[in-house]
Amino acid sequence: MADSNSLFYLFLLFSFSIFTSGVEAGAKDAPYVGINIGTDVSDLLSPEDLVTFLQSQKISHIRLYDSNADILKALSHTKIRVMISVPNNQLIAIGSSNTTAATWVQRNVVAFYPQTLITSISVGDEVFTTNPSSAPILLPAIESLYNSLVASNLHNDIKISTPHAASIILDTFPPSQAFFNQTLTPFLLPLLQFLSRTKAPLMMNFYPYYVFMQNKGVVPLDNSLFRPLTPSKEMVDPNTLLHYSNVLDAMIDAAYFSMKNLNVSDVVVLVTESGWPSIGDSKEPYATIDNADTYNSNLIRHVFDRSGTPLHPELTSSVYIYELFNEDLRANPVSEAHWGLFYGNSTPVYLLHVSGTGTFLGNDTTNQTYCVVMDDVDSKTLQAALDWACGPGRANCSEIQPGENCYQPNNVKNHASYAFDSYYQKQDRASGSCDFNGVAMITTTDPSQGSCIFPGSKRFGTNKTSEVGTATNTPMTSGEVGHLRRRRKKPTVQWYNPVILLVLLARIWL
């Protein structure tokens, strides 16, 4: 028996090492959420006001698309960490001359560091796809800048990499079959080897929004927005049996598998851009405030939950949200000017619901969330949930009775939304209280209409029967209620986790 136990623990240790080797070093760093700051804004704050605003919002990491001296100076003696950038139009000069690279580092890094906490340099932006003629000069530019950092003894404090478009990865799902565009291998492989040698990240711009728009009918909206899914709706990689509950994790793992195909396993993925537009034209009907709010709020929670990806649960990628301000000077399509969390004057486009993520972002809508019915729920399941909410759930359903303020429109979806929100608010918006067996979702958009004021609304109290905690509740139907029970949110162990799967197989084998 002792020999058997020894074999088991050796097997366990070996299995765990397989999935943590290579990227283990990156797991030691706490993941963070940063913000991209574009400046195509007609009423942009002054650098000093911008820094004050960033501090008020508890934003600790930002990315600039250049090396704006005024902003870098204003960031001096703050705790805000900044990624500065080399624009594409400067690549040739820097890649062709070590002297030019050294001058750039002296002027844009040494002149401000360490008073301004410059942590990384992004060299170019999506060069392989947007400026392919500069592909041969990209790595020489990066190496020249790196050598200049070495000369200033800053190479251990400031990392250098370059952001890539997601399109350099082909066949992204299932992730295990993903690979880099092979025409880029002559440029990508030496770049990845450089990143490995200098312990710098692979920077990727990942937008589940575009994945959804290009694959409507195949990729569900819920998967793209990080909404909670039933196991049957999760995407499954048939080769690894890993389950993917959201598109971003699948994209990140596709990058890891692509690097593995080039025999690189010790470079971590940093998501330098990700976001969702709040307004679009008729061709972009899913560019809405509610979807943008849902995506970015859930993205922030996902990073701070530190749950990693199905392939690397021990490693959570940091993400920079695109972007802080709506860049109203950007050209068409309409959505190009509406990716921001705030307008240029610092007023919010929408209020994120990021309760539970510490102090990050000052505009928290914990007290402005509502529970409503999800789309495409069959009426029988919805009626059962409504019966439970108005019965055993003791939601206040008096307002959806005939003749009352929320009776019209008289359909089960609208009635259920009111009942669900009543229950959700009575439970103080507790985690898991907006589920109802998978037919409800949380939104920051007030569903109140006309004289029908939902319990979570700031206007609640204007209805004649506004008391949420009424002692009696009238069921919506005369049939039996209570046969649907609200599921508890339990800590889940994913059976498809490869380490756990190997452990289970080892127990059977031994």
Mean pLDDT lowest for which of 4-8, 68-72, 215-219, 237-241?
Answer: 4-8
| pLDDT of 120 over the 70 cut | yes
Picking from 290, 278, 276, the residue whose alpha carbon sits closest to that of residue 375 is: 290
Mean pLDDT lowest for which of 120-134, 269-283, 443-457?
Answer: 443-457
Residue 360 contacts residue 304 (beta carbons within 8 Å): yes
Catalytic residue among 24, 48, 126, 284: 126
| pLDDT of 497 over the 70 cut | no
Q: 284 an active-site residue? A: no
| pLDDT of 220 over the 80 cut | yes
Residue 163 contacts residue 126 (beta carbons within 8 Å): yes
Distance CA 314, CA 320 (A): 20
pLDDT band at 350; cut points 50, 70, 90: confident
Residue 213 contacts residue 279 (beta carbons within 8 Å): no
pLDDT at 186 (0 to 100): 97
Phi, psi of 274 (to 5 degrees): -165, 140
pLDDT at 431 (0 to 100): 62
179: β partners: 170
| pLDDT of 254 over the 90 cut | yes
pLDDT at 358 (0 to 100): 58
Catalytic residue among 273, 323, 327, 399: 273
Place of tokens 């080892």: 506
| pLDDT of 12 over the 70 cut | no
Q: What is the mean pLDDT of residues 37-57?
A: 93
Q: Which residue has the higher pLDDT, 19 or 179?
A: 179
Task: Round the CA-based radius of gyration of the chain to a whole number and report it.
Answer: 26
pLDDT at 357 (0 to 100): 60
Residue-wise pLDDT tens digits, 276-293? 999 999 999 999 999 999
pLDDT at 291 (0 to 100): 94
pLDDT at 446 (0 to 100): 82
Distance CA 200, CA 192 (A): 9
Residue-wise pLDDT tens digits, 365-386? 445 678 899 877 888 899 999 9
pLDDT band at 38; cut points 50, 70, 90: very high
pLDDT at 356 (0 to 100): 58
Residue-wise pLDDT tens digits, 89-117? 999 999 999 999 999 999 999 999 999 99
Q: 399 an active-site residue? A: no
pLDDT band at 488; cut points 50, 70, 90: very low
Pairing relation of β-strands 370-373 and 440-443?
antiparallel
The pTM is what? Answer: 0.69
